[in-house]
Chain A
């Protein structure tokens, strides 16, 4: 069964229902069984032995974006997302992961398979991609909107240590994450460039692994534990660093929140994970202390900002990315309605439930269009894929805030 302290959580749900109106999925389907309240009650019944976890229950458990909106809105303080995450791990003792997830997670958690697949992906996959039918989709993402793999992984593009030109004003570890490493190299280049410009020494540990959040949030904790422990060991092997910088909301959430919880729930020691947690900073958080005005040249256009769930709710980071964008001269900032509402991607959710996913994303796209912005910034590769993948013919660019900042500092 799930960890003891989580079991008691179900009794703190007073069934007021306030979670339902905040749940993006309930708002689409209007069926109690998909609502947070519904799932919490089912977990309670399972715990009490009054209901056996069924295939149907498993499906409900994965009909959830893990956007954490219910948790932050729950007046009773029920740790709803923790309960669901833990239950997913429990349910895999009885049911198997879908085949595509087994394959994907095996690749992500393997030292050899990931580089191997990415090599063949960029060598053969990239050229073949243009042959895909225009109208086809993978999950909720249109084929035509799939990003190409980086010609070279970001980690291979830089030495381990990138020294500051002048006296270093800081020294950080940088964790680019799989998306930046293999898909969105410009994010990584931007991070390095900005830090460099600010005279911060950047160390990119070469033996970092996938943060594994997609793996353990799908419940496959055993598959993820190797990577989790390796990352913690790698990070803690460097002394005298100010911070561990991440540019991906999801990796940040993994290091700051999930690692400690998961190790704890699995009965492992959490001391080392706690050390990592205390050092990890999102790039927007780290940059908050710098005065960057003198480096910034004017940009044109109007930008809006979308809050990734893993930043705004998991890490409570809301103001810092906006502050970065607002200080770029010439760039007009327009707040969208419901900026902190989930985009509907939810990692692998959009693969499992493309229809629900797209219906949620439509509202997000509308909010973006209503601002009249030509660019939407968001610090999460999942949101980027999801939003960009559903923009259709709209001429709106989706970028990471750091890319705009780097651009304002001059060409990379």
Chain B
């Protein structure tokens, strides 16, 4: 527990209004979108680099734990105060500082919500592609710290691919810049991309510079419907092999379709075994040419039917529904744990089969969702966290699936991060040497271990 006089000192930096210690505020900063909960001692809402720097200097001097937080839509407890101390919420530090159309970059504060930022750049015909399912909730700061991926990964890559530079605050309180605003930059180690994906354990981002693309002039959404999930999986690997690059390629199985349809009433086929939601984008002519090509391709791979959207409104409806899939699943069971392994796309069909087999054997209800285009599986394990025995079965199924993913060259986590739940698996993927190097890096940035304590490197056995 933090002493009252220490909290008082922090309050003097941000002011009383932005230093919260009421039980309501502490409890509402004790969770994210996973099942983990840790109650912090105080929540601070800084709105400037100076405040963040002051907070960290004070935290260093008093050995106070600090855990950064965006919108807390994460799935692994990364933004929770696992060892108590302060939660540093960036939700009020949310301005767009610059959108530069001449050089196609933007500078933002970390707390801006991704979709709000995307809308702002699209107004001036620019495009910020990284598009996690939670983009209407998640902040850019959170996305940077987690290197969020999302739906457009197959064509456009992930958050890391759009970072040009940052202003960061070190755990000591020192402020420094990484990267530049230029398109190319090889000056020194690439600290920008090291901090991106560090799960908030190395430094805090206070300004983020991202590169932007011209906004695609057109897009079309296709809905390929399958009677056999294998065919859907096969289509994905074949499309990749054939050199066609759609903007997105999302797979939903029967259970996900049912939950989404129940929530949105879009007329999705409830009798289908799986469907692929595919976007093609680009110039109008490219889209006109590619859409039928992709449709034919899907049919050739066994799609029962391929529907093509007729309007942007319909596109938006379909993607809004996809975005909400995680939430929709709660209609079936109260708790949902998401697996996040990514596998080589050629193994997609086998991996889906395997996860179903594992879950069946362990008597775990599973639904399959996947950013299929980049091999990022999201098996949704449906359960009720109040049922301990069931949760044990779910954990066993997860263990088995991770082990399998490792054998085929997959990764523990494609985009959600390691957090606390997957930390125990780290040694299965990272060698002792790799872990030693990573710990050494952490030590350089944060020798006192005050930034986001209890994170993956510490929890990992």
CA gap between A57 and B22 in the complex, in Å:
10
What is the CB-to-nearest-CB distance from A333 to chain B, in angstroms, rounded to a whole number? Answer: 19
Verify A21–B91 contact, CB threshold 8 A.
no
Question: For chain A residues 1-32, which have a beta carbon within 8 Å of chain B?
Answer: 11-18, 20-21, 30-32
Interface centre among A15, A16, A35, A45 (most CB of B within 10 A): A16
What is the CB-to-nearest-CB distance from B98 to chain A, in angstroms, rounded to a whole number? Answer: 21
B1-45 interface code vs A (CB 8 A; 1 in, 0 out): 000000000000000000010111101110111000000000001
* Chain B positions within 8 Å of A35 at CB level: 28
CA gap between A210 and B91 in the complex, in Å:
42
Verify A14–B24 contact, CB threshold 8 A.
no
Task: Determine the residue in chain B with the shortest Cβ distance to A40.
Answer: B28
Task: Determine the residue in chain B with the shortest Cβ distance to A35.
Answer: B28
What is the CB-to-nearest-CB distance from A34 to chain B, in angstroms, rounded to a whole number? Answer: 9
The interface size bin for chain A is: 20 to 34
Q: A14-B329, A30-B111, A38-B28 are in contact. List 19 more A-B contacts (CB 8 A).
A: A11-B334, A14-B33, A14-B330, A16-B134, A17-B33, A17-B73, A17-B134, A17-B137, A21-B116, A30-B91, A30-B94, A31-B89, A32-B91, A33-B22, A33-B28, A54-B23, A75-B263, A75-B325, A76-B330
Verify A76–B327 contact, CB threshold 8 A.
yes
What are 12 A-B interface contacts by the 8 Å CB criterion?
Answer: A11-B384, A14-B336, A15-B72, A16-B137, A17-B138, A20-B137, A21-B113, A31-B89, A31-B92, A41-B31, A54-B23, A56-B22
Contact pick for B263, options A21, A41, A77, CB 8 Å:
A77
CA gap between A41 and B25 in the complex, in Å:
11
Verify B92–A45 contact, CB threshold 8 A.
no
* Chain A positions within 8 Å of B209 at CB level: none
| In the assembled complex, A158 has its CB within 8 A of some CB on chain B | no
Contact pick for B324, options A12, A60, A75, CB 8 Å:
A75
Report how many A-B pairs have Cβ atoms within 8 Å. 109
CA gap between A78 and B327 in the complex, in Å:
10
* Chain B positions within 8 Å of A31 at CB level: 20, 25, 45, 89, 91-92
CA gap between A45 and B27 in the complex, in Å:
9
| In the assembled complex, A116 has its CB within 8 A of some CB on chain B | no
| In the assembled complex, B402 has its CB within 8 A of some CB on chain A | no
Verify B33–A75 contact, CB threshold 8 A.
no
| In the assembled complex, A42 has its CB within 8 A of some CB on chain B | yes
Contact pick for A75, options B28, B31, B327, B384, CB 8 Å:
B327
CA gap between A182 and B31 in the complex, in Å:
48
What is the CB-to-nearest-CB distance from B331 to chain A, in angstroms, rounded to a whole number? Answer: 5
CA gap between A330 and B89 in the complex, in Å:
53
Verify A32–B136 contact, CB threshold 8 A.
no
Task: Determine the residue in chain A with the shortest Cβ distance to B328.
Answer: A75
Known: A56-B23, A56-B24, A75-B328. A21 touches B115 (CB 8 A): yes
| In the assembled complex, B231 has its CB within 8 A of some CB on chain A | no
CA gap between A374 and B447 in the complex, in Å:
64
| In the assembled complex, B162 has its CB within 8 A of some CB on chain A | no
Interface centre among B23, B27, B31, B262 (most CB of A within 10 A): B27
What is the CB-to-nearest-CB distance from A9 to chain B, in angstroms, rounded to a whole number? Answer: 10
| In the assembled complex, A74 has its CB within 8 A of some CB on chain B | yes
Verify A51–B27 contact, CB threshold 8 A.
yes
Question: For chain B residues 350-401, which have a beta carbon within 8 Å of chain A?
Answer: 384, 386
* Chain A positions within 8 Å of B23 at CB level: 51, 54, 56
* Chain B positions within 8 Å of A20 at CB level: 71, 137
Task: Determine the residue in chain B with the shortest Cβ distance to A58.
Answer: B24
Task: Determine the residue in chain B with the shortest Cβ distance to A16.
Answer: B327
| In the assembled complex, B305 has its CB within 8 A of some CB on chain A | no
* Chain A positions within 8 Å of B25 at CB level: 31-33
| In the assembled complex, B335 has its CB within 8 A of some CB on chain A | yes
What is the CB-to-nearest-CB distance from B313 to chain A, in angstroms, rounded to a whole number? Answer: 13
The interface size bin for chain B is: 35 or more
CA gap between A12 and B32 in the complex, in Å:
15
Verify A18–B324 contact, CB threshold 8 A.
yes
CA gap between A95 and B33 in the complex, in Å:
32
Known: A30-B94, A31-B91, A75-B327. A16 touches B73 (CB 8 A): yes
Interface centre among A18, A77, A78 (most CB of B within 10 A): A18
| In the assembled complex, B127 has its CB within 8 A of some CB on chain A | no
| In the assembled complex, B128 has its CB within 8 A of some CB on chain A | no
* Chain B positions within 8 Å of A11 at CB level: 334, 384, 386
Known: A32-B89, A54-B24. A16 touches B113 (CB 8 A): no
What is the CB-to-nearest-CB distance from A26 to chain B, in angstroms, rounded to a whole number? Answer: 9
Question: For chain B residues 310-351, which have a beta carbon within 8 Å of chain A?
Answer: 323-331, 334-336
What is the CB-to-nearest-CB distance from B42 to chain A, in angstroms, rounded to a whole number? Answer: 14
What is the CB-to-nearest-CB distance from A70 to chain B, in angstroms, rounded to a whole number? Answer: 12
CA gap between A77 and B263 in the complex, in Å:
7
* Chain A positions within 8 Å of B136 at CB level: 18, 21
What is the CB-to-nearest-CB distance from B380 to chain A, in angstroms, rounded to a whole number? Answer: 10
What is the CB-to-nearest-CB distance from A74 to chain B, in angstroms, rounded to a whole number? Answer: 7
* Chain B positions within 8 Å of A45 at CB level: 27
* Chain A positions within 8 Å of B263 at CB level: 75-77
* Chain B positions within 8 Å of A74 at CB level: 327
Verify B111–A12 contact, CB threshold 8 A.
no
Known: A14-B335, A21-B115, A21-B136. A32 touches B28 (CB 8 A): yes
Verify A33–B24 contact, CB threshold 8 A.
yes
* Chain B positions within 8 Å of A42 at CB level: 24, 27-28
Verify A18–B28 contact, CB threshold 8 A.
no
CA gap between A74 and B45 in the complex, in Å:
27
What is the CB-to-nearest-CB distance from B391 to chain A, in angstroms, rounded to a whole number? Answer: 14
What is the CB-to-nearest-CB distance from A158 to chain B, in angstroms, rounded to a whole number? Answer: 42
CA gap between A141 and B263 in the complex, in Å:
38
* Chain A positions within 8 Å of B331 at CB level: 12, 75-77
B113-126 interface code vs A (CB 8 A; 1 in, 0 out): 10110000000000
CA gap between A74 and B263 in the complex, in Å:
8
A51-86 interface code vs B (CB 8 A; 1 in, 0 out): 100101100100000000000001111100000000
Verify B22–A41 contact, CB threshold 8 A.
no
B134-156 interface code vs A (CB 8 A; 1 in, 0 out): 10111000000000000000000
Verify A16–B24 contact, CB threshold 8 A.
no
CA gap between A51 and B335 in the complex, in Å:
22
Task: Determine the residue in chain A with the shortest Cβ distance to B260.
Answer: A75
* Chain B positions within 8 Å of A32 at CB level: 25, 28-29, 72, 89, 91
What is the CB-to-nearest-CB distance from B110 to chain A, in angstroms, rounded to a whole number? Answer: 12
Question: For chain B residues 82-114, which have a beta carbon within 8 Å of chain A?
Answer: 89, 91-92, 94, 111, 113
* Chain B positions within 8 Å of A21 at CB level: 113, 115-116, 136-137
Verify B330–A12 contact, CB threshold 8 A.
yes
